[in-house]
Structure 1
Amino acid sequence: MEKSIINKNIIIKGIGGFYYVKTADGIFETKPKGIFRNINIKPLAGDFVEIEEVNGDYVITEIHKRKNSFLRPPIANVDKVFIVISTVEPPPNYTVIDKMTAICIKKGIVPDIIITKTDLLKDDGVFGIYEKSGFSVTDINGENAYKEIIAMMKGGLSVFAGNTGVGKSTVLNRLFSHLNLETAKISRKLGRGRHTTRAVEIYDFEGGSVADTPGFSYIDTEREQPLYDDEIEHLFPEISPHIGKCRFNDCSHTSEIGCAVIEKVKSKEISESRYKSYCDIRKEAEGISRWEQND
């Protein structure tokens, strides 16, 4: 049985049980070996893999260790996440947005923020909330916004995330007109967009790569690896510098006397919106056991 090994391969798309792998010799349609199903590992777009040719068919034989991965969108080895927030249609849901930023930071990615639809409704403080919290923030309608985003994307794999209808596909089409992604129309009845992106697919551009993905939503953040109450303070960049400066060593930063974080909120050095999200996410995390999650 004649076999050949092709190295340095990345999955750029998976659909219907087939995975399209980009190699130095071109793109190959592959299927994973059955062993991955037996050990409950599913190949993801962004995975670096080994493939083997067997009688003209290509099989994924190895999936290299991931530096990170997301359940939805299903993608691995992400370098940059751009969280897209619209000022209107739909308006920002800060708890969901802040849960996304926390999940990204837990996975080793400090996300960047893109604000859209400021031509329909002026920024009502969104820019300041996230800039004050230590994130890079770009108004998509600002001068040179697209050039700035392209510069930030270079050097790795970028993903755009955000609730449906915020304008992810519109932004991507403007950045990479050859992608011609389908854009979502807003459902007036529900006040949210309809999903139009059907499968994760990675595209190369000069200096990096970008994934077209189904977007994050509230349900999607729930499906990710749990956030535990004792780690959440480390996942808010504006809160983490104050850890250990409170009166009590075990301060939760929610109600304690002498809390350094609460003092920063009172002095407006920490956004009230972000602090509320911190408290909501921490309360939600109470009772989630690492042991029960096998984490």
Structure 2
Amino acid sequence: MDEDDVRNRPSGRSSRPRTKQRPAHVDAAAGMVVSVDRGRYGVLLNDPPLQLITMRARELGRTAIAVGDRVEVVGDLTGAPDTLSRIVRVSERETVLRRTADDNDPYERVIVANADQLLIVTALADPPPRYGLIDRAVVAALTANIEPILLLTKNDLASPEEVLKNYSALDVPTLTTSKGGDLGEVRAVLDGKITVFVGHSGVGKSTLVNALVPGAGRSTGVVSGIGKGRHTSTSVVALQLPAPLTGWVIDTPGVRSFGLAHVTAQDVLWAFPDLEDGAVQCPGSCEHLTAADGCKLDDWIASGHSTPARLEAFRRLLVSRSDLGEP
């Protein structure tokens, strides 16, 4: 045998030199992510208003993509069955709503991008209000620069007075509804906004979404015998409000926990501008929980700069970050 008889196995790799230069994608179409499902992203194009099934382009690497993201897409843009296009750019987010699986989980999960409002749906009865989840959702919204709004359902079964009193110091806008009641006030709040709906299973969230967006088809369920709802909706999805309204409703699965491992005391303090200047006088490591630990906020309140109710509400939200019980 000589060298001509030796066969070399092809390496399978191109001999072309690699380059960092990426395609410009000048013909990319703009749109918004309206659903995420196992590596496939539903994108509604801006012009024409056509929904596509897309995947993440290789050049984006591990870039996270969430419902609400504004993206640019290339490929087959016809929307025909069995076609697939690629997301090649993700625009900078204006807001990001995050949570962790629990308070010991260091990994943040982006729930929704670019939301304006967080509608916290809570039943007044069957199941009863769970203040832990409400507090945590308020913290997540305030620290993300998203306006929290409290929606109390089933006011035909119980009075909202206690809940309203509990959140009056936070200046959180509050709405109430009853089964089959008028939703005009709710529609007015949602008009022109991107609003995320969050709440425990069984509080009537999916029923509300179906009433606001006819044809949405969000699954609904019943409350179990032990006062807890069964999970119905299983994915995050953005739904466009019907004309003459504008804006979006983003429905999320019913949650049992809302971890805030990523939120610090300073993050919460940022949402209380009337207390920020007083906190400057506190020790550098102050958690702002009690005067006994050196917190100067009690003196700040005594000087008339804010109210005891505001300080109490602030500290309650701080404590809610590390409350390991069920929200």
Could you say whether these structures have the same fold, taking a TM-score greater than 0.5 normalized by the shorter chain as the test? Answer: yes
Aligned to 1:291: none
- In the superposition, relative to structure 1, how do residues 57 and 269 fare at CA in structure 2: closer, same or farther (>3 Å)? closer
d(CA) in 1 for partners of 2:120, 2:35: 22
- In the superposition, relative to structure 1, how do residues 276 and 192 fare at CA in structure 2: closer, same or farther (>3 Å)? farther
Aligned to 2:224: 187
Deviation at residue 195 of structure 1 after TM alignment: 1.1
d(CA) in 2 for partners of 1:194, 1:158: 23
**Taking structure 2 as the reference length, what is the TM-score of the superposition?**
0.72
Aligned to 1:255: 290
- In the superposition, relative to structure 1, how do residues 228 and 271 fare at CA in structure 2: closer, same or farther (>3 Å)? closer
Aligned to 2:104: none
Mapped contact 2:139–2:317 kept (Cα < 8 A) = no
- In the superposition, relative to structure 1, how do residues 21 and 279 fare at CA in structure 2: closer, same or farther (>3 Å)? closer
- Indicate yes or no: 2:262 matched with 1:226: yes
Q: Which is worse superposed, 246-255 or 199-208?
A: 246-255
Structure 1 unmatched runs, 5+: 286-295
- Indicate yes or no: 2:166 matched with 1:153: no
Aligned to 2:54: 30
Q: CA RMSD in A?
A: 3.2
- Indicate yes or no: 2:127 matched with 1:90: yes
Mapped contact 1:73–1:216 kept (Cα < 8 A) = no
Deviation at residue 92 of structure 1 after TM alignment: 2.0
Identical residues among aligned pairs (%): 23
- In the superposition, relative to structure 1, how do residues 275 and 59 fare at CA in structure 2: closer, same or farther (>3 Å)? closer
Aligned to 1:244: 277
d(CA) in 1 for partners of 2:321, 2:236: 31
- In the superposition, relative to structure 1, how do residues 8 and 247 fare at CA in structure 2: closer, same or farther (>3 Å)? closer
Mapped contact 2:66–2:110 kept (Cα < 8 A) = no
- In the superposition, relative to structure 1, how do residues 131 and 76 fare at CA in structure 2: closer, same or farther (>3 Å)? same
- In the superposition, relative to structure 1, how do residues 244 and 44 fare at CA in structure 2: closer, same or farther (>3 Å)? closer
Given candidates 95, 110, 114, the residue that maps to 2:147 is: 110
Mapped contact 2:33–2:41 kept (Cα < 8 A) = yes
Q: Alpha-carbon deviations, 1:137-161, whole Å to 9, x = none? A: 1111399862122111122211111
Mapped contact 2:73–2:85 kept (Cα < 8 A) = yes
d(CA) in 2 for partners of 1:271, 1:170: 36
Partner-residue secondary structure (3-state), 2:31: strand
Aligned to 2:201: 164
d(CA) in 1 for partners of 2:190, 2:252: 16
- In the superposition, relative to structure 1, how do residues 90 and 260 fare at CA in structure 2: closer, same or farther (>3 Å)? farther
Amino acid at match of 1:244: D
Partner-residue secondary structure (3-state), 2:309: coil
Mapped contact 1:138–1:145 kept (Cα < 8 A) = no
Deviation at residue 47 of structure 1 after TM alignment: 1.0
Mapped contact 1:86–1:166 kept (Cα < 8 A) = yes
Partner-residue secondary structure (3-state), 1:100: helix
Q: Which is worse superposed, 4-13 or 74-83?
A: 4-13
Deviation at residue 208 of structure 1 after TM alignment: 0.9
Q: Which has the larger radius of gyration?
A: 2
1:1-295 superposed matches below 5 A: 5-23=27-45, 24-25=47-48, 26-36=50-60, 38=61, 40-53=62-75, 57-71=84-98, 74-141=111-178, 146-189=183-226, 191-205=227-241, 206-218=245-257, 221-222=258-259, 226-235=262-271, 237=272, 240-245=273-278, 248-250=281-283, 252-256=287-291, 259-260=298-299, 269-270=309-310, 274=313, 277-281=316-320
Deviation at residue 201 of structure 1 after TM alignment: 1.7
d(CA) in 2 for partners of 1:230, 1:128: 26
Amino acid at match of 1:278: L
Deviation at residue 41 of structure 1 after TM alignment: 1.9
- In the superposition, relative to structure 1, how do residues 232 and 75 fare at CA in structure 2: closer, same or farther (>3 Å)? closer
Deviation at residue 114 of structure 1 after TM alignment: 0.6
**Taking structure 1 as the reference length, what is the TM-score of the superposition?**
0.79
Partner-residue secondary structure (3-state), 1:269: helix
Mapped contact 1:73–1:214 kept (Cα < 8 A) = no
- In the superposition, relative to structure 1, how do residues 161 and 261 fare at CA in structure 2: closer, same or farther (>3 Å)? farther
Mapped contact 1:184–1:194 kept (Cα < 8 A) = yes
Partner-residue secondary structure (3-state), 1:135: coil
Aligned length: 271
Amino acid at match of 2:252: T
Deviation at residue 48 of structure 1 after TM alignment: 0.9
